[in-house]
Amino acid sequence: MHDHLWLAFGLTLAAGLATGIGSVISFVASTTNTKFLSWSLGFSAGVMIYVSMIEIFVKAKDALVAAAGNALGSWLTVGGFFGGILLIALIDKFVPDQGNPHEIKKVEEMNKPASAIKDPALLKMGTFTALAIAIHNFPEGIATFVSTLQDPGLGIAITVAIAIHNIPEGIAVAVPIYFATGSRKRAFKLSFLSGLAEPVGAIVAYFLLLPFLTDMMFGIIFAAVAGIMVFISLDELLPAAKKYDEGHLSIYGVIGGMAVMAVSLLLFI
């Protein structure tokens, strides 16, 4: 498992840095491709839901059944799954309302007249958004890191899905910060820093979890990871995808994400 340590750190860093890509897009693009945004967010949700329920949950149960027996192992798997959902739901509940990262921003907002720039109220909103996204990204970093240690192919798939949904989060930070300060540099910096919470999550997992990563601990963490990713998909990705939906594109994205994930898992058998 430790053979993939640097790959796990690298993938977690890559997923987090996708928020910086979002801020760059907000500076260089003239319009938001809402059709692609809807499809890609749906695709990301499809990948996360499929891999969580078909692969991660099953591996968690296998590890826990091996460590604790069939009955107790099954209960621990279900408990870990809903424990993960409870964790991310509590994080979601206690982040500041002004910084709710679910609110997607359009790059067209960067084309407002100069009089709209340097609105002090937006600085608070943008800062809270960056903080909220950082808090959300922390458990995602743990999920990516632990998954890659267990199965590099699985880790790559999760990285791609998380990176896709981190891009619009980067826009959500950059747009209000830019209009609060008039500084693209500061907007990019805060967007970039919010994404670094994912590799920080990996570092915490390495020092606090890895020394105790028995089959029992691994199974509980993996079950929780499945719950976290299902919650993110249902609470964040799908509502955001539906907001810009045209002709069921978001659902086609979900099905496409599931299909790609299914085929990729079959290829690694």
Q: Is 236 annotated as a binding residue?
A: no
Q: Is 165 annotated as a binding residue?
A: yes
What is the b/e burial string over 64-98, where b = at least 16 CB atoms within 10 angstroms of the residue's CB?
bbebbeeeebeebbeebbeebbeebeebbeebeeb
Measured CA angle at 262 (ends 256, 264), to 5 deg: 100
Residue type, 103: E
Measured CA angle at 202 (ends 198, 205), to 5 deg: 135
Q: Is 137 annotated as a binding residue?
A: yes
Q: Is 166 annotated as a binding residue?
A: yes
Q: Is 55 annotated as a binding residue?
A: no
Q: In the Cβ-directed half-sphere of 213, how many Cα atoms lie within 13 Å?
A: 18
Q: Cα–Cα distance between 164 and 154 in angstroms, integer?
A: 16
Residue type, 109: E
Q: Does residue 130 contact residue 20 with C-beta atoms inside 8 Å?
A: no
Q: What is the greatest pairwise CA distance in the chain?
A: 66
CA 93 to chain centre: 17
Closest CA to 227 of 68, 91, 102: 91
Q: Cα–Cα distance between 17 and 10 in angstroms, integer?
A: 11
Q: Cite the annotated binding site for Zn(2+) by residue number.
A: 140, 165, 169
Q: Cite the annotated binding site for Fe(2+) by residue number.
A: 137, 140, 166, 169, 198
Q: Cite the annotated binding site by residue number.
A: 137, 140, 165-166, 169, 198
